[in-house]
Amino acid sequence: MPQLKFYYAPGACSLAPHILLHEVGLPFDAIANEVTQNGANFIEGFHRINPKMRIPVIALDGEVITETIAVMTAIANLAPEKHLLGQTPLETLRVYEWMAWLSGTVHGQGFGELARPERFSDDPAAHDGIRAKGHKTIVDCYDMIEGKLTGVYAVGDSLTLVDPYLFVFFRWGNGLGLAMKEKYPNWAMLVSNLVKRSAVEAALKAENIDSTL
Ligand SMILES: N[C@@H](CCC(=O)N[C@@H](CS)C(=O)NCC(=O)O)C(=O)O
């Protein structure tokens, strides 16, 4: 059994791999950090673990993996019988299509611009405009997410990496004051099914947060 060390922050994007770890059901050590709208507070020496200064991070028998997509793939590989990367090669492609867009555009661009405008311009006078653009990108992407969802799961007929990641963005939409349930009924249905899973309950409890549904 591999030794697993998971670095997260309550309510951050790391909630998605945290849920996946509970789905897989192997024991792991969870190390909490803090990331808020205003900044981040990482454990002492975190820059040696991930010089990019971001969570999530997972260490598998000491091998450090960063980036949500790689972290979640590593977790999925621990339980191949659960098909968390999809049931077929085409579903796996769809999983990575979703994950790359959610990580790069929705998170990195939309939420990055909204919460960390200083990453996009050194000129403080530009920051309000960048925040506004980030908010618009998020809403445009959320409309697209709603249009892409048709069933209980984002890809195929079973849980994949994409569903817990979509849960993170649904919670963040609530945090932004968007009328998530009313505006995005397909997405709300996916999330209401997801929160019935014991793995979601366990991860929310461990992070001491609620589903905000
Ligand atoms: N590309 C990275 C981005 C991860 C990321 O930005 N994580 C946020 C938490 S949701 C973080 O660590 N933020 C620290 C900061 O903003 O200082 C990934 O997908 O894992």
List pLDDT tens digits, range 90-149.
999 999 999 999 999 999 999 999 999 999 999 999 999 999 999 999 999 999 999 999
Tell me what the mean pLDDT of segment 40-59 comes to. 97
Whether residue 169 sits in one domain with residue 123? yes
Q: Which atom of ligand 1 is nearest to 56's Cα? A: 20
Please, where are the H alpha helices in the chain? 15-24, 46-49, 68-77, 89-101, 112-115, 127-148, 162-175, 180-183, 185-194, 198-207
pLDDT at 202: 98
Whether residue 115 sits in one domain with residue 32? no
Q: How far apart are CA 72 and CA 85, in angstroms?
A: 9
Whether residue 58 sits in one domain with residue 20? yes
Residue 18 CB less than 6 A away from ligand 1: no
Q: Which atom of ligand 1 is nearest to 9's Cα? A: 9
Ligand 1 center to 136 CA (angstroms): 20
Whether residue 188 sits in one domain with residue 97? yes
8 Å CB contact between 164 and 170:
no
Whether residue 114 sits in one domain with residue 71? no
Residue 202 lies in a domain: no
Mean pLDDT estimate for the chain: 97
First and final C-alpha spacing in the chain: 35
Whether residue 94 sits in one domain with residue 174? yes
Q: Provide the number of structural domains found in the chain.
A: 2
Ligand 1 center to 37 CA (angstroms): 12
Residue 39 has phi, psi (to 5 degrees) of 160, -170
Ligand 1 center to 14 CA (angstroms): 8
Q: Which domain holds residue 155?
A: 89-197
Whether residue 116 sits in one domain with residue 57? no
Q: Which atom of ligand 1 is nearest to 115's Cα? A: 16
Nearest-CA residue for atom 12 of ligand 1: 54
